[in-house]
Amino acid sequence: MQKNITTVQLGKQGITTNFILALKNQFNIRRNIKIAVLSSARGEGKEAKIKVKEYADKILEQLGTHYTAKIIGFTISIKKWRKSMVSKE
């Protein structure tokens, strides 16, 4: 049975073009990816939570409208949907 969730680490280099390409390649195989934000990328204290939220927003912006994110601690869970998740108003 194929595992549906994979974990990727986000390190001190942050979000790069290669990181986004690696995510897109993983989404060709899976629908759910967990991104563990390492302490070297997020810093310490109250700023760490804000930094993780900024990373999540930036990743979703670069991936497109078919993805949603949920933050649990210092882990970003991203899910790929068949339809766009942006509401059309």
Determine the pLDDT at residue 26.
Answer: 92
Single pTM value for the model? 0.86
For the stretch 14-60, pLDDT in tens is 999 999 999 999 999 899 999 999 999 988 888 999 999 999 999 99
Q: Structural domains in the chain?
A: 5-80 (3.30.110.60)
pLDDT, residue 87, reads 60
CA atoms lying within 13 Å on the CB side of residue 24: 12
- Contact between residue 48 and residue 42 where contact means Cβ atoms under 8 Å apart: yes
Predicted confidence at residue 88, as pLDDT, reads: 53
Binned at pLDDT 50, 70 and 90, residue 3 comes out as: low
Q: How confident is the model at residue 86 (pLDDT cuts 50, 70, 90)?
A: low
Q: Which residues, listed in sequence order, are joined to residue 8 by a DSSP beta bridge? A: 35
Pairwise pLDDT comparison (86 vs 24), residue with the higher score: 24
The pLDDT of residue 1: 39
